[in-house]
Structure 1
Amino acid sequence: MNLCGTNFTLTLAFIMIIVRPLEGNEHVGKLSPKFERWMHSIRGEYIPLEFFNVMNSADLSKQDLQNLLRNFLENLQKNLTTSAILNVIDYNHQSNRNQIRKLWELSDFFYLSADVANAFAHDSQMYYEVTKNSSYKLLLHLRQIPSAQPTLVKMLLTNYFAEMEFFHIMFSEIIDEVLEYTQNTLLSIQNTFTYYADIQRFILENWNLKSNISCIKEYMEFLKPCSAKVFRCATDTKLDVVFDVFAMTELTSKYIMHQLEFRIQRLFNCFYFGNYEIRCKFLQNAEHDFEILFNSIEDLEIYYDIKTKNGRVSALRLRRHSNSNIEEDTTGLRVYNNCLPRDFPQSEMSNSLINCFNTIQKY
């Protein structure tokens, strides 16, 4: 009996030693109803599901446009050729119709390319806008901390939230720059492709191309370099820049969202488990805590500056550490619309080709 009593006493004492440190933690075991509601409201995934949905949609639209345009010049040479016809001794009307069909398909391709470019413009705009909104929603999550905190903690939280808001402003600025460049470039491509397709469709419908093989051949030979020139002018390097910057923004934004999500959970743990001096040290230097995030968007801005070749020095660090007024060059964002010469196509046609049409009307 004495042995059993001794064991019971030691066990009880051991339990008391384990439990006693928790008694001093006011946030464990005795949570206020308001704090409990906050605790349950912020558990789980914080990044909005919409962010991933629109990102996937924009990525698919980008791939569609890339796949459509990837082998355009090669296919142009294959489709707009009459060499097979010229090798046929008994040329027939069916072959003639096949070649005319290729001319219609050329305009259809430019219409389709314009539509796919427009789809990517829409989906990428949605992605960039949702990215900014998601950053703001995560900021609101951080602000759900209960207000009943010690005065010193309130001051630290105020500084932390201010740093978070400043980060959101800087992040939104670079996203707006990327969005503007993307929309201008894709709008220019869409307008150029549509205008060129409209001209080709107008010619086929109203100019009455003669059906002899020499005229069909000459018109096809005319369209090959013209179509290639329009394609190169409209896409040039700007479209590749749009693709590259989109991929870099996608990578950076996913990293930033997960970093913000981590900070929400860490802040939750800080106030749930208490021990501010140990668990909440990051609040004492908010600027240092957000340094990795500011570095990420600065890298994105530098990448964007290099790709667009605007000749601008990254302004993020200057905006952050000085009050200098920086005027940014926006000439690189202008819509270019000089891919087609004035009075096209008559101004580019030879006299022999003009004679291949029965009725020439100005577009």
Structure 2
Amino acid sequence: MRIPAHLVPARLRAGDQARVASSGLRARPLRAVLSALGIAIGTTAIVAVLGLSASSQAGLLAEIDRLGTNLLTAKTGQSFTQEEAVMPVTAPDRVSRLGSVEEVAHTGTVRDANVYRSPLIPPVNTNGLKVQAASLNLPRVAGAGVAHGRWLNEATATQPAVVLGAAAAQRLGIGRVHPGQRVWLGGQWFYVAGILTPATLAPDVDTSALVGYPAARRHLGHTSMARGELADGPPTTLYVRAETEAVGEVQSVLARTANPEAPNEVNVSQPSDALTARAAAQGAFNSLFLGLGVVALIVGAVGVANIMIISVLERRSEIGLRRALGATRGQIRTQFLAEAIMLSVLGGVVGVAAGAVATAVYAGVKDWTVVIPTEAWAGGIGSAIVIGAVAGLMPALRAARLSPTEALRTA
């Protein structure tokens, strides 16, 4: 039997369904905003965490590319008797003769010498700083610039003059270089010639007071024997710039070239590898903050479900009237389900925008490239849709089960 056309329920177009669903939100704007707030907070946390992580990694990798991946370091390790090993004075010269080595710089830790702001500081308060003799090409090879003052030259390297690493200057409370500025170093005054910028690939330089090898020999007794004669040194760290395509080859022979008699007492590393690993490891730490964002999303979903249940109870007369006028159960169900999804999407969009702004502001302060991964904003919007659908499903089914007479009678 064919049903007459005027008795067949009309189908609502998508646009009409959206207008009907949004009418419930527009009727109670404050409630809608508060319900969407939980979703917005969770989405903001997720987008900001992923965006800041990606921006930080991009900035760190860009810094590595700028400084170069061809820097190798060779440091003295421990001897067979567990004592600190000594690198031969001739090690820098031997390493520089390797065919694929471009340049070698070196530093030598000066034993029993510390640096203080004044002689009144207790000797135990070393601030974790050390005194090192340095070759004149150290900043160029290690990738450190001069922030204030000047680096050592052939003249000042023989005098009681010192250049402070970035961290050393900060811990000593010295922000700029002024005429006549001095520090108490090795039991005597040394004039501050300059302050270096942070050495990303050479953290030992950052925490050091650097003097010339001749000055270390003359004023601090930093000497060694070479071929039966007193010589400057010995070095404790070599900074080696190799041809990029031959880094692996140089790394494999660096230890036995620096110390042929005891290559096992030399520790060789590539600083850029450690920084790359640090960039990759940052993602693991973000899991905690992502977990907090997920918790906020769950709380927001509970809030949306609660509001939709209350909305169904408050709007029984509306449901009954629509059913009496011919609305189907499916149309009622779709109305409330769409309303919950719209509420969640509203919070998701606000959260994505807030997370993107937070990422852009913080990355701008740090001079990072602003990177917001696709999975961050797409995941934020997608999770909002899923949360809205899940949170609104039960209230929508409950609204659809109400018969017109029951809804009008209990309204």
Given the two structures, how large is their TM-score scaled by the length of structure 2? 0.25
Higher relative contact order (CA 8 A, sep 6+): 2
Kindly indicate which of the two structures has a greater share of residues assigned to helix: 1
More strand by share: 2
Name the TM-score, length of structure 1 as normaliser.
0.27
